[in-house]
Chains A and B, each alone.
Chain A
């Protein structure tokens, strides 16, 4: 059971970096490309986590016939079952991931419903308030996922490997594959015709309407996609921590992720990855445990520094570098390549 401290630090850093990358990419397609300030991001992340926790614990409890799902004994039994039945564990993982994404996505689509009547800052505050409402409800309503103390014993899908190092590495690799897939998909989405409509809605909604693009439906689909990605991140996070605590899902997380987009590059996916890396580093070096590792002690709660720095970065970047570290690029289309002289114009037959 003894692992090398360095490996634990590095693997947890990488894992959080990947979760943040997925969240930041999903924020980017909403805020960066379509101009929707979704301050309820943490709500959809949370929903993915809850769906996962419910599916994972309820399935095992039904098989084992557990009466009291919140007890430590039940948690241990669930993990033991998952370890002896690899097929079941991986199946539960895949089903949770898919339903977490889907339900969060549907909720996101629903959230675009007030978006028809509300715009900009009002919409974002309503989403923020809904996120807080969900957190308050879940932490109070114990039957769902154990209320304020949460529920544990959400078995990692690779727990059958037994060796903790192998379990952690296998899960890390899986998460990495999913993250890369998300990055590729998002990059393809924003360079597709729909991606150009997203930018059109952001830059001039009226013009988009005039060209026959329904901004309301675009917002709906963007919120669906963004929220589904957040839900998948929440699902991955829940299997990683093997437990869920409602108080982990506070609005500060939304702001933290939004800062990655603002710092890295609004409407630039590579920039967002850089932003996620930068903010993850800031997070690590504002943790008491990391600082203690280097023998530094401060006389106050160091996590305050992280959020103060986050706030300062938002203001400074908006003032002095509003496009972020890596700026938005023009859309890749054949016409753009022709205009940039990278491709020869071809004769096109019209109406043929």
Chain B
């Protein structure tokens, strides 16, 4: 029993790190650029494919992962430069920009699907080899789990360092807190926008690589993960990085550890696994709604 419970920790940790890494990018995008990017799932998918194909061709996993980050960053930048930025310059509303990201998402996903179908790559497993390092309960912690946690810690550390120490990072914070003031203070808003997009895409690409190392992938992998990434950001209210991180862990742990606990105690079939995080989101939303309501009453 205890063995099994502990055994759920590695997989929960992996899923949480993956969701949190991508969700931090999503929250960053919302803070600096003021739109939620639906196409993030596609940057993840591209990251998946780049990592899987490169490792299958003999490249070492860490380099392949960095290449995934680069691919995700390029795609994110292109999407913004070619479609979203022109859209905002034409005076589109925030809602229209959000709908446009859905369009971009569909376009990338299904162009990728056509390419994958032609090349016979609709289902693909990476060339990553799991090496058990340490046993917790009945399941091992492998090199992949270590890699995932390293990526998360690295991303958070890089983002923190940049926003506290570098001009670009400080500019990002300025744009996030007051865009008009940032423009009038002479902060290069468009350069910061490009830089933010690179970061967002890179985070998504990195988490895509981790997913490809964990399981087999298809052109819809990123879209499937996107819902959980969004859920993490929703828990963080799209504004708070610590809460977004927490959100990633709430989703990752409720999905795996929570499902195990529920199926163990209430004999719920594991097919309901995807429903557990949904319940977590509902609980968080209801809680927040109540707090808001109370706030109004007191104010």
Q: A37-B98, A121-B36 are in contact. Are A311 and B272 (CB under 8 A)?
A: no
Indicate whether A125 reaches chain B with its CB closer than 8 angstroms: yes
- Asked if B106 and A308 sit within 8 Å, CB to CB, the answer is yes
Interface residue stretch chosen among B70-78, B83-91, B154-162, B183-191: B83-91
Interface residue stretch chosen among B17-25, B128-136, B138-146, B281-289: B281-289
| C-alpha spacing A136/B90, complex, angstroms | 40
| Shortest beta-carbon distance from B127 to chain A in Å | 25
Instruction: Count residues of A near B (Cβ-Cβ below 8 Å).
Output: 42
Indicate whether B260 reaches chain A with its CB closer than 8 angstroms: no
Indicate whether B168 reaches chain A with its CB closer than 8 angstroms: no
Interface SS, B side? helix
- Asked if A140 and B271 sit within 8 Å, CB to CB, the answer is yes
- Asked if A121 and B231 sit within 8 Å, CB to CB, the answer is no
| C-alpha spacing A113/B289, complex, angstroms | 9
User: Which residues of B are found within 8 Å of A308, using beta-carbon distances?
Assistant: 106-107, 110-111, 113-114
| Shortest beta-carbon distance from A122 to chain B in Å | 6
- Asked if A133 and B289 sit within 8 Å, CB to CB, the answer is no
User: Which residues of A are found within 8 Å of B118, using beta-carbon distances?
Assistant: 299-300
Chain A residues 82 to 137 lying within 8 A of chain B, measured CB to CB, are 113-114, 116-118, 120-122, 124-126, 128-130, 132-133, 136-137
Indicate whether A258 reaches chain B with its CB closer than 8 angstroms: yes
User: Which residues of B are found within 8 Å of A117, using beta-carbon distances?
Assistant: 285, 288-289, 292
Chain B residues 89 to 140 lying within 8 A of chain A, measured CB to CB, are 90, 92, 94-96, 98-100, 102-111, 113-114, 117-118
Chain B residues 258 to 296 lying within 8 A of chain A, measured CB to CB, are 269, 271-272, 274-275, 278, 281, 285, 288-289, 292
User: Which residues of A are found within 8 Å of B107, using beta-carbon distances?
Assistant: 308, 311-312, 315
Indicate whether B227 reaches chain A with its CB closer than 8 angstroms: yes
- Asked if A322 and B281 sit within 8 Å, CB to CB, the answer is no
Instruction: Count residues of B near A (Cβ-Cβ below 8 Å).
Output: 43
**A36 (CB) vs chain B CBs: closest residue:** B95
Q: A37-B99, A117-B292 are in contact. Are A322 and B92 (CB under 8 A)?
A: yes
Q: A121-B35, A140-B269, A319-B86 are in contact. Are A311 and B103 (CB under 8 A)?
A: yes
- Asked if A129 and B83 sit within 8 Å, CB to CB, the answer is no
| C-alpha spacing A113/B290, complex, angstroms | 11
| Shortest beta-carbon distance from A172 to chain B in Å | 31
- Asked if A300 and B98 sit within 8 Å, CB to CB, the answer is no
- Asked if A304 and B289 sit within 8 Å, CB to CB, the answer is no
User: Which residues of A are found within 8 Å of B104, using beta-carbon distances?
Assistant: 311, 315
| C-alpha spacing A310/B105, complex, angstroms | 10
| C-alpha spacing A125/B227, complex, angstroms | 8
User: Which residues of A are found within 8 Å of B86, using beta-carbon distances?
Assistant: 319
- Asked if B94 and A122 sit within 8 Å, CB to CB, the answer is no
| Shortest beta-carbon distance from A6 to chain B in Å | 30
Indicate whether A314 reaches chain B with its CB closer than 8 angstroms: yes
Using an 8 Å CB-CB cutoff, how does the interface string of A286-326 with B read, 1 for contact, 0 for none? 00000000000001110011011011111100110010000
Indicate whether A35 reaches chain B with its CB closer than 8 angstroms: yes
Indicate whether A50 reaches chain B with its CB closer than 8 angstroms: no
Indicate whether A262 reaches chain B with its CB closer than 8 angstroms: yes
Interface SS, A side? helix
**B226 (CB) vs chain A CBs: closest residue:** A125
- Asked if B271 and A318 sit within 8 Å, CB to CB, the answer is no
Q: A121-B94, A140-B272, A305-B114 are in contact. Are A314 and B109 (CB under 8 A)?
A: no
- Asked if A137 and B272 sit within 8 Å, CB to CB, the answer is yes
User: Which residues of B are found within 8 Å of A121, using beta-carbon distances?
Assistant: 35-36, 94-95, 98
User: Which residues of A are found within 8 Å of B95, using beta-carbon distances?
Assistant: 35, 37, 120-121
Q: A114-B289, A299-B118 are in contact. Are A125 and B111 (CB under 8 A)?
A: no
| Shortest beta-carbon distance from A154 to chain B in Å | 24
| C-alpha spacing A137/B278, complex, angstroms | 11
- Asked if B114 and A304 sit within 8 Å, CB to CB, the answer is yes
| C-alpha spacing A335/B272, complex, angstroms | 57
User: Which residues of A are found within 8 Å of B87, using beta-carbon distances?
Assistant: 318-319
| C-alpha spacing A129/B279, complex, angstroms | 11
| C-alpha spacing A318/B104, complex, angstroms | 11
- Asked if B117 and A304 sit within 8 Å, CB to CB, the answer is yes
Q: A117-B292, A314-B102 are in contact. Are A322 and B96 (CB under 8 A)?
A: yes
Shortest Cβ-Cβ A-B pairs, 7 listed: A314-B103, A311-B106, A311-B107, A308-B110, A300-B117, A133-B278, A315-B103
18 inter-chain pairs at a CB distance below 8 angstroms, sorted by A residue, are A120-B94, A122-B234, A126-B281, A129-B281, A132-B227, A136-B272, A136-B275, A140-B271, A140-B275, A255-B106, A301-B113, A301-B114, A310-B106, A311-B107, A313-B103, A314-B102, A315-B104, A319-B83
**Interface residues in chain A, defined as those with a beta carbon under 8 Å from any beta carbon in chain B:** 35, 37, 39, 113-114, 116-118, 120-122, 124-126, 128-130, 132-133, 136-137, 140, 252, 255, 258, 262, 299-301, 304-305, 307-308, 310-315, 318-319, 322
Known: A140-B275, A311-B104, A318-B96. 6 other contacts (CB 8 A): A37-B99, A117-B292, A301-B113, A314-B99, A314-B100, A319-B100
